[in-house]
Structure 1
Amino acid sequence: MDQPIVGILHPGSMGAAVAACAAANASEVLWCEAGRSAASAARAAEFGLTPVARLPELLDRSDIVISLCPPAVAEDLAHDVAEHGFTGVYVEANAISPERTKRIAPLLEPDAAIVDGGVVGSPPVRGKTPVLYLSGPADATARIEAVFVGTAVQTEVLGTEVGKASALKLAYASFQKTSRVLVALAVGMAREHGVDQELLEVASRRTDSYLAEPEYIPKTAARAWRWGPELEEAADTLAAAGLPPEMLRAAASTLARWNDAKDDGKLTLTDALDRLAQP
């Protein structure tokens, strides 16, 4: 099979790195400049992606489109793609609930093939090897596997049912991201009473405890603008299953206190805890 042309919507920190991996087995990887920031343009250039001026051009030229954007805009973006009449493989790889993924699929079918995707792990740079879980029609998931074969993005197919990959992504995110929020609250409480170092000593006696990694709190703060909406999606998924969503909604609310620290790579632990206590 000829190498496909892949379009990425949009080149954020994860999307750009994933798209760069796809370039290993694609003839070209496109991204759309319209409405994107200077930071997006810089990332796209860094990873060698080819710019196009408008979304219709990207959709006309692409055989495969991968959607990796903030959860809140996933459906709007899918509507835009559907209105254009895209006929390739559309990978809905956003951190959204299975229910939303299932709402998106009929927008594009039957003209396009829909693959549900969920990325678990960090962006594929500096030796990181995230897993892209896939579910959907077998021929379509096979095409996505072929795009990433031999790259830092590992793929695993969960079956043909759209929604499975989204469910796995959010199940993992529910634990991983909420745990980081609980660490921030625990360290903040301990700091207020002057026992933060003692707390770390207690945590260090246990293996694999996030509580022993307070240095991750500034990173959590910088990612809060993305993590909060993702946990809201996970809460919706819990509610749909008859499970209590309140814990995840509370974690999302806590993360919202850090929204103004978006992608701040210079944030210190003290800064992050101060913002958490006094938003």
Structure 2
Amino acid sequence: MTSKLTVGILHPGSMGAAVAACARPNAERVLWCPKGRSTATVARAEEVGLEPVGGLNELLDQADIVLSLCPPAAAEELARTVAEHRFAGVFVEANAINPERTKRIAALLDGSARAVVDGAVIGSPPIGGKGTRLYLSGPLAAVSLLEELFADSPVKTPVLGSDVGQASALKLSYSSYQKASRVLAAIAFGAARAHGVDAALLDVASKREGSYLVETGYIAKTAARAWRWGPEMDEAADMLSADGLPDELLRAAAQTLARWESSKDLAGLTPDEALDRLAER
């Protein structure tokens, strides 16, 4: 970049705050809006050094690049608000939504935003030595700004192409396997536990390299993340349906995850407690 740019992050959760923080060395400022956000979000943003502003309009007026990382259901409404403000910079749609929704968001911002870039965050939050990948697709000049913004940071920025929708498709293609597999593992272990053969199932699974069935600790993590993963499975199912592919498996995964809605972010949940909640009707 010939000069440092100001970045705004919309609704930073654990991933969004960590990704935005990785832009700080190459950015002039990294802004966020604490109005209406939870105390946990405020603490998270302060911890990684994001700069608070008084309101969303102030953020949009000052930012050259805006990163949108929010729950899938809120993505279009948030983009509509940004479009109504006539935001003139680069808008990065980095939510776990299907390609058609990403294209609708690009159309919403057409005529005001400099460009819309499709982004897919895959990996753990880039903190504590961990790295993540922000896959990018869209207008190449705008994509290049993102590559420079995260250069030499824990956020790697592979470029998929110039078409908005490619990054979204990659995100949901990956999520549909990874997260549905975790749901299937939990169901399998729950069935085995109900019949007193869970130890035998672990023994069988341990003989197969890389089986999710041996990672019983992840059952509780899946339950705690179900409030986010369920909507992702619905987004992935919508993508499959639009492509003429069967969507029933992912719809079922979303319905299964919905049984864990009351387990949102319960860090102390045990696998047995998670399975008990899964079996509740």
Q: Distance in 2 between matches of 1:3 and 1:197?
A: 57
The one-letter amino acid paired with 2:207 is R
Q: Distance in 1 between matches of 2:205 and 2:17?
A: 36
Residue matched to 1:105: 106
Unmatched runs of 5 consecutive residues or more in structure 1: none
Residue matched to 1:6: 7
The one-letter amino acid paired with 2:122 is V
Residue matched to 1:143: 145
Q: Distance in 2 between matches of 1:248 and 1:231?
A: 6
Q: Distance in 2 between matches of 1:229 and 1:138?
A: 30
Residues 154-199 of structure 1, C-alpha deviation per residue, up to 9 Å, x if partnerless? 1111111000000000000000000000011011000001111111
Q: Does 1:53 find its partner at 2:54?
A: yes
The residue correspondences of 1:67-106 to structure 2 (distance < 5 A) are 67-106=68-107
Q: Distance in 1 between matches of 2:193 and 2:127?
A: 34
Residues 238-274 of structure 1, C-alpha deviation per residue, up to 9 Å, x if partnerless? 0000001010010001001111111111111111011
Q: Distance in 1 between matches of 2:25 and 2:213?
A: 38
Residue matched to 1:277: 279
Q: Cα RMSD over matched residues?
A: 0.8
Q: Distance in 1 between matches of 2:37 and 2:54?
A: 11
Once the 2 structures are TM-superposed, how far is the Cα of residue 39 of structure 1 from its aligned partner? 1.1
Q: Which moved more, 1:193-202 or 1:92-101?
A: 193-202
- Tell me the secondary structure at the aligned position of residue 158 of structure 1: strand
**1:249 alignment partner, one of 229, 240, 251:** 251
Once the 2 structures are TM-superposed, how far is the Cα of residue 127 of structure 1 from its aligned partner? 2.2
Q: Distance in 2 between matches of 1:204 and 1:132?
A: 33
- Tell me the secondary structure at the aligned position of residue 19 of structure 1: helix
The residue correspondences of 1:172-183 to structure 2 (distance < 5 A) are 172-183=174-185
Q: Percent identity?
A: 65
The residue correspondences of 1:21-60 to structure 2 (distance < 5 A) are 21-60=22-61
Residues 48-103 of structure 1, C-alpha deviation per residue, up to 9 Å, x if partnerless? 11111210000001010000000000000000000001000000000000000000
Q: Distance in 2 between matches of 1:127 and 1:169?
A: 23
Q: Distance in 1 between matches of 2:256 and 2:109?
A: 35
Once the 2 structures are TM-superposed, how far is the Cα of residue 126 of structure 1 from its aligned partner? 2.1
Once the 2 structures are TM-superposed, how far is the Cα of residue 4 of structure 1 from its aligned partner? 0.8
Per the normalisation by structure 2, the TM-score is 0.98
Residue matched to 1:215: 217
Residue matched to 1:18: 19
The one-letter amino acid paired with 1:65 is V
The one-letter amino acid paired with 1:124 is P
Q: Distance in 2 between matches of 1:147 and 1:110?
A: 24
**How many residues of Structure 1 are paired with residues of Structure 2 in the alignment?**
279
Q: Which moved more, 1:194-203 or 1:69-78?
A: 194-203
Residues 94-127 of structure 1, C-alpha deviation per residue, up to 9 Å, x if partnerless? 0000000000101111321100000111111122
Q: Distance in 2 between matches of 1:63 and 1:53?
A: 17
Per the normalisation by structure 1, the TM-score is 0.98
Q: Which moved more, 1:125-134 or 1:60-69?
A: 125-134
Q: Distance in 2 between matches of 1:110 and 1:3?
A: 25
The residue correspondences of 1:156-167 to structure 2 (distance < 5 A) are 156-167=158-169
- Tell me the secondary structure at the aligned position of residue 65 of structure 1: strand
Q: Distance in 1 between matches of 2:7 and 2:261?
A: 32
Q: Distance in 1 between matches of 2:271 and 2:161?
A: 42
Once the 2 structures are TM-superposed, how far is the Cα of residue 34 of structure 1 from its aligned partner? 1.7
Once the 2 structures are TM-superposed, how far is the Cα of residue 25 of structure 1 from its aligned partner? 1.0
Unmatched runs of 5 consecutive residues or more in structure 2: none
Q: Distance in 2 between matches of 1:255 and 1:166?
A: 21
